[in-house]
Amino acid sequence: MAATASAGAGGIDGKPRTSPKMGATVFVQPLDLVKNRMQLSGEGAKTREYKTSFHALTSILKAEGLRGIYTGLSAGLLRQATYTTTRLGIYTVLFERLTGADGTPPGFLLKAVIGMTAGATGAFVGTPAEVALIRMTADGRLPADQRRGYKNVFNALIRITREEGVLTLWRGCIPTMARAVVVNAAQLASYSQSKQFLLDSGYFSDNILCHFCASMISGLVTTAASMPVDIAKTRIQNMRMIDGKPEYKNGLDVLFKVVRYEGFFSLWKGFTPYYARLGPHTVLTFIFLEQMNKAY
């Protein structure tokens, strides 16, 4: 995510690192697919298609095979290539420009603003790939005659443009950008607060164990804070036109309908795979950041 101060902008030599993110996508793609399927399950009804994340995973494997859980991988890779490259580029440029003439780095709050700005910008650029990813991962749950049947991410982008108009590629960009801002803000604030709480308890010193525990708490808080925005994004990007009208007017309409027809806690559908994806990322980000700060 975009937010993780100077270390989050690149490697040890300060150069952006996109390829590791794309490599990681190969491993987290099944988690993305399970999360998206769970967020779309039981749409408009109290009943749920999947009881748990494990049930969702086993059901998908049984119905679609091992290749099924990697549906949309090309879109996931393009999302990382566009979102991560833009995010890191914007972050690096802003960070360097706001660094003092004497080499003093920006303060904590300014770093947070830089991170949220970079995250939101990256999310906007990456929205077309995100739309393709949501649709491709959702396709397998539909009856055969209703599936979109995109062959790969480029086929998806071309068909969406031709069949629905180029602006559809940026459908849901507002909640996508909002999610990036929420994730960055929640990560930074919750990590800082958790770390201080652990240190004040007297049971922890400022070491890697403290950083790990604070990161795990931060990942949990960030997941809980960003999931309602994420489900709004997922449903808007996957929605169809019914009698010439969209299923949802905007992100708030999604949230109201989910709460009304599916229950309040349905806003957190897919919590486990989302946390399984975001948690380790948060831990590694902040541990790396702390070690870099100590070295600095």
Per-residue pLDDT of the chain (296 residues; tens, 9 = 90+): 444 444 443 443 344 445 555 666 777 889 999 999 999 987 877 667 888 899 999 999 999 998 999 999 999 999 988 998 898 889 889 988 998 888 888 887 888 889 899 999 999 999 999 999 999 999 998 888 889 999 999 999 999 999 999 999 999 999 999 999 999 888 888 988 899 999 999 899 989 999 999 999 999 999 999 999 999 999 999 998 878 888 899 999 999 999 999 999 999 999 999 999 888 878 887 887 777 777 76
Q: What is the CATH number of the domain that holds 39?
A: 1.50.40.10
Provide the pLDDT for residue 46.
Answer: 64
Out of 171, 203, 234, a domain closes at: 171
CA–CA dist 279, 233 (Å, integer): 20
Whether residue 189 is found in the same domain as residue 289 = yes
CA–CA dist 85, 20 (Å, integer): 12
Q: Which domain holds residue 157?
A: 20-171
Whether residue 205 is found in the same domain as residue 167 = no
Q: Which of 69, 182, 190, 36 is nearest to 123 (CA)?
A: 182
> What total of structural domains would you count in the chain?
2
Whether residue 161 is found in the same domain as residue 275 = no
**Residue 153 forms part of a structural domain:** yes
Whether residue 189 is found in the same domain as residue 49 = no
Strand partners, 242: 245
Q: Which of 121, 112, 59, 63 is nearest to 89 (CA)?
A: 121
Provide the pLDDT for residue 20.
Answer: 52
Q: Who contacts 274 (Cβ-Cβ below 8 Å, separation ≥6)?
A: 31, 35, 223, 227, 230
**Residue 31 forms part of a structural domain:** yes
Provide the pLDDT for residue 9.
Answer: 39
pTM of the model: 0.82
Whether residue 37 is found in the same domain as residue 164 = yes
Residues 232/255, Cβ–Cβ less than 8 Å: yes
Judged by phi (left if over 0) then psi (alpha if -120 to 50, else beta), residue 147 lies in beta
Provide the pLDDT for residue 260.
Answer: 93
Out of 132, 147, 171, a domain closes at: 171
**Residue 14 forms part of a structural domain:** no
